[in-house]
Every structure is written in structure tokens, then in C-alpha cells.
Amino acid sequence: MAVLAIVAAVDVVLLFVMGGAAEDGISLGGLLAASVVTLTIIGAASMFRTASLRTGGGAVAQQMGATPVAEDTTDFNLRRLRNVVEEIAIASGVPVPQIFVLEDEAAINAFAAGYAPSDASITVTRGALNRLNRDELQGVIAHEFSHVLNGDMRLNIRLIGLLFGILVLALIGRKILEHGRFSRSKDSAPLIGVAIGLLVVGYVGLFFGRLIKAGLSRQREYLADASAVQFTRQTRGIAGALKKLAGLPEGSKLANADTEEVSHMLFGEGLKLSSMMATHPPLLQRIQALDPSFKGDALRELEARWSMTPPNGLDEDAAMGLGAYAPPPLPGARSEVNLTPPSVIAQVGSPQADDYRRASSINDNIPDVLQRAARDQSDVIPMLYGLLHAAPGPVRDAQQYELVARTDRRCAEQSLDYADSMADLNPMLRLPLASLAFPLLRRRPRPELQQFMDTVFALVHADGQVDLFEYCLGRLLQTQVSESLDPSRAWVSGHKRLADCAASATTLFAIVAQAGHENPAEAPRAYVAGLARVFPRLNAPYQPPKDMLGALDAIWPELDALQPLGKELLMEGIVTAISHDGRVNVAEAELLRTICASLHCPLPPMLDQPESRLS
């Protein structure tokens, strides 16, 4: 409707301008040609803008003038921001996103951008860092992670490309006026008229563009607020941030010239618009949805107080003692967890407050030497290679041979040192460690990343004897790197039915059952239980493939393309098979998380409370 309205408006402008300038007016063929040209310009502009954003969320942040936050930053506000983002990423089971700051913006705002979690970026304003305490900053970041996990940011970044096409005619009209305003030639009069007409048409595009953004984003903002509360299990953080948006003079309005383009992605309104065009619900309504007792009078009191003494986030942290709590201890490497298919499915893409607290504990338990390596440009790749090393023996020797051949002896020796330092690493720490390393990894040049992917493939396939977890972790790294190389093509729409993927699903059940049960007699029963959950009428014998790694390589693309409900049912079958003996240790739980991540179904680090008994 928007495009048709713009085409019609262009035709009206041509009838008015050209009809008065020409003796015979403009012909029907001329109008048809103008309509085709208009459609072509809109389509080409949308394609061009979409292509300019193909590198993912970082491109949006950089075009807004945002500054990346260094991994080794010493700015306390930036360090606090990075800690919050890293812990929420670990708790969500996704790679740590790129982090940016809009340094020149005093308003409180933030946005998430990208096509998939592997290329996501989180951007906040300097005003948010200065004014929000840790609870409030955590609420805002949790809100943005909801957009990451629910696919909103993928829709939002595509909407930027679409809306650019709708608005491009106004930009053309403005440029014509800028270059033709000094011309005094009589022949330029029709051109100036066309330019003014294009500006008028541009307002039609602007009207529809804002209407589209308002229709898409309002309800998603309510849902993201609710997800932030579910994640942090308290309303004071997200509600407090919204109160500061409403009560401070600078609010959430941005001074950036490109705010119009990203207004639908922001945490708060970036522009002052009418209620019909607003991309976000009214602030008071958002606050009252979280804190029903909050009234307009209380907001006016906050405005009066903050006009005299603006809030300072770090001072509020110190006054409330935030950040001084002790995170819960990690379960031991030999602990066991209780899993049920419904409980696991409920956690996919939906982290809870316990997951955030567990993520803090995970972060604290990663040894300092590995923390530093994950944040060091020269050490991050050897550390990741070390994470993929098998236990000492022939397979590790083969991996070292591959490393020396593909990199150099120094890198191989560093990787071996890191592998030795990870010998006693709790299995629960391996995926989070890779997540912390990912922001630095994906900033490497494309040829280095291609070489990294090839080397990872060689390490996980060395002698074909690598265990299932190491294989899945290696594939997960490859998947994330390949998605970061071409984010716009990374996401695969779920279109396959589970019934059409029965052969691939049964292969995965057989591999999981075999890997999760040391007793050979238990594995077939686990396989049958998982199969019955998904395909109750299918009679497929238990036949684990001899080439386990090759079989997995073959089934991932098909299973990753399943419809959402098909993935949900598949995950129920996997959980049933892996937990059939009632004994799921931490390593098996991490294997489950890795499989889920490979299917783009991220799981939090804690699947259930661990039992006290030991395996």
C-alpha cells in the first residue's frame, strides 16, 4: 500500500507539473513509464541499503557513529557494561555480541541489531551508562537480548532496507533542490517543480514508513519489557530505567541525524512523534505495566527532584551495594541434573533469573589465564584450538601435527599449553569460554577466519576419534564464524516438516543414545524412548552409524531447516533419549546445549538444579 501510494503521488505530481509545462500534457504511456521508473528506484534503493547492512549489526552501530567497547577497557562504566552483556550472553547460551557506545548522546537509549545471534551488536548511549545503576542497565540489556533471541532484530534490520526505498524519492528531491537552487535558467523551472514534488511525495513515504514502524514495534516492546522482568526476576531494574527516561530532561531523544532510520529498534522513543506515529507505547503505560502502583504524580515528583540533582548510576550502585553479592557455586564436574523434555523446551531462548546468577558464577570460575586469552587478539585463536584438543594420546598428537602444518610451531605449542591448562576445566565452562572469545575472533580478516574454520575442521576430524562434545563444539565454532562472514545469508528459514526429516532425526537419536549411556544395553532402550516421543508409529531399528562424525555433518543442514514446532518436538526426543537412564551429568548436559546451539535453539547454562549425588 505504501509503495502504491508513492507511485500514485508521483503520477499526480507529473500530471500537475508536466501537464502545465507541455502543450499536449503528459500521455498515458508517459505515466506508465514514470510508474515503472518509480518502482525501479524504490526497489533498487531498498536492495542497495539492505546490501550495505549485509555485514550485520556492527554496520548499523558504526553508521550511527558508535564507538566499539574494547575487551580490555579500563573505563569503569564501560567495564560494567561489558560485564553485564557478557553475563547475559552466557546465560542466554549465545555468543557475546559486539558492544558499542554512542559517546555523544546524553539521552538514555539502546538498541540491538543483526541478523542472527552470531552477528548481533548491542549499542547503548553514554547517557545510559552515566544515569543507570547496574540493576537498570541489566534490565535494559535484558530487554535488548529479548529482541536478539526472539528474532526481532532480524526483522528490524531488514525493515531499514525496506524503509530506505520508501523514503528515497524525498532524498532525491532534496538533492535536486540543493544543486539547482542557484540556477536562474528558465529551463530549470520544471526540474525545480519535480524536485518540490518529490519532497511532497517524500512526506507520503515518511507517513507510511512511520506507520509501518509503529505497527511492528509497539507490541514487541511490551513483550521485551516482560522478558527482561522474567530474566532478571525483578521489576525495579527495567522500571527504574523507564522512569529515568520519563523523568530526565534529555529522556530518550537522540540528536543523531540517522535516528529516523533506527527509531523502531531503540529502547525508548528516539524522536518526538504523535501518538499515532510513535514506535513505542507511552512511557507511563510501560512503567505501569511493570509497576501498577506508579502514578503520574510520582513521575512529576521524580522530574522535580532530578532537575535539581540528576541521578548518577555509579553512585547509586555504591549506595545500594550492587555487585557485592556472592554468586552461587558451580556444580561439580561429576554432578548430575534432572531433565524433563517440557522443562528444557521452556528454557530455549527464554533465560530466567537463575540463569543470570549462574552466568555470573561461570564467569567468575573461568581461570584468569583463560579470561585474558579470550580478550587478547594474539592469544584467542591458540586458546580456542586448545579447547578442541583431545586428551593426551594419539588423537592429540594428530591434532598437533595438523596445527603445525596449517599454522606454525609457536601456535601449536601455545595451543598445547592452553589444552594442558584446561585439563581440569569444568565442562560447564567450555561453551561460555568460547562465547567470550567470539567477539575478538570475528574481527579477524576474512582469510584468517577461513583458515581458522579449515583448521577447526581438521582438529575435530583428526583420526575420526574425537568425542561427540569436541565435535559439536568445533562445529558450533565453524557455524558461528561462517554466519559472521555473511550474516544476511546465515539465517535459514524453518520450512521443513519433521516427517520429511525422519532419517536424519533417527540418526541423531542413535548417536545421542550411544554417547549418553555407558551401558551398551541401555543405549537401544534410550533410542527407542526418544524415537517414540517424536515418531510413535515409526519402526526404525537402532543402528548407530560407524562414521559418527560424517553422519552428523550430513544431517545438520536438514535438521536446522526444520519448522519451529518440528524443532521443539525433535528437542523433546533428544532430551528423552539422553536422560533415559535418569543420570545426566554435567558433560552430557553441555553436550545437549551444544546440539541445541547447532540447531539455533540456544539453552541457558543451567538446565535444572543439580543433584547432590555423584556419578
User: In this structure, what C-alpha cell is assigned to residue 365?
Assistant: 570460575
- Could you tell me which of 417, 366, 553 has the C-alpha nearest to residue 474? 553
C-alpha–C-alpha distance, residues 577 and 517, integer Å: 9
Pairing between strand 335-337 and 610-614? antiparallel
What does DSSP assign to residue 330?
A: P
Contact partners, residue 564, CB within 8 Å, separation at least 6: 494
| pTM score | 0.79
For residues 573 and 106, give the distance between their C-alpha atoms in angstroms, rounded to a whole number: 50
Alpha helical stretches, state H, 22-124:
28-52, 57-63, 76-92
Same domain for 441 and 557? no
* Co-location of 423 and 546 in the same domain: no
User: CA dist 556 to 365, 438, 516, 598, 599, Å?
Assistant: 32, 22, 19, 8, 7
Residues 544, 511: contact at Cβ < 8 Å?
yes
Question: What is the grid cell recorded at 194?
Answer: 519535480
> What is the predicted pLDDT for the residue at 95?
85
| Alpha carbon separation from 108 to 120, 128, 317, 536 (Å, rounded) | 20, 4, 17, 53
Domain annotation covers residue 475: no
Is 351 domain-assigned?
no
Are the C-beta atoms of 25 and 2 separated by less than 8 Å? no
Does one domain contain both 284 and 433?
no
Nearest Cα residue to 438 out of 94, 59, 62 = 94
> Is 358 inside a domain boundary?
no
Report the DSSP pairing between strands 98-102 and 584-585.
Answer: unpaired
Looking at the fold, whether 287 and 175 belong to one and the same domain comes out as yes
d(CA 278, CA 241): 19
Residue 363 lies inside a defined structural domain of this protein: no
Tell me, letter by letter, the H, E, C secondary structure of 516-574: CCCCCCHHHHHHHHHHHHHCCCCCCCCCCCCCHHHHHHHHHHHHHCECHHHHHHHHHHH
Residues of the chain with pLDDT under 70: 17-26, 178-191, 193-194, 233, 273-275, 321-340, 349-356, 464-466, 488-493, 587, 606-615
Q: Give the pLDDT confidence score for residue 607 in this predicted structure.
A: 64
Task: For residue 389, give the 3-state DSSP assignment.
Answer: coil
Residue 18 and residue 125 share a domain? yes
Predicted pLDDT of residue 418: 93
* Long-range contacts from 74-77, C-beta under 8 angstroms, 24+ separation: 76/314, 77/129, 77/130, 77/313, 77/314
Task: For the chain, give the mean pLDDT.
Answer: 82
| Domain co-membership, 398 together with 256 | no
User: Whose CA is closest to 119, among 436, 442, 556, 600?
Assistant: 442
Q: What is the pLDDT of residues 535-590, one digit of tens each?
A: 988 888 998 888 887 888 889 889 988 988 888 899 888 888 888 877 777 767 77
Domain housing 92: 1-312
Is 332 domain-assigned? no
Question: Is there a single domain that holds both residue 342 and residue 375?
Answer: no
Based on the fold, state whether residues 52 and 86 are members of the same structural domain: yes
Q: Are residues 139 and 274 in the same domain?
A: yes
Handedness of CA 458, 462, 463, 469 (dihedral sign): negative
Number of domains in the chain: 3
Write down the pLDDT at residue 323.
52
Closest CA to 570 of 524, 514, 505, 521: 505
Give catalytic residues, as residue numbers. Answer: 144
| Residue 508 in domain | yes
Shared domain for 211 and 136, answered yes or no, is yes
Inter-axis angle of helices 502-515 and 522-534, nearest 10: 150
Q: How many residues does the chain have?
A: 615
Q: Residue 264: inside a domain, yes or no?
A: yes
User: Are residues 133 and 316 in contact, defined by beta-carbon separation less than 8 angstroms?
Assistant: yes
Cα gap 48→74, rounded to integer Å: 39
How far is residue 90 from each of residues 69, 82, 100, 355, 435, measured CA to CA in Å? Answer: 18, 12, 18, 9, 7
Specify whether 438 is located in the same domain as 526. no
Task: Please indicate, yes or no, if residue 321 is contained in any of the structural domains.
Answer: no
pLDDT of residue 108: 94
Does the CA dihedral 162-168-170-171 come out positive or negative? Answer: positive
Residue 460 sits in the same domain as residue 496: no
As beta bridge partners, residue 584 has 337
Chain position carrying cell 585463536: 381
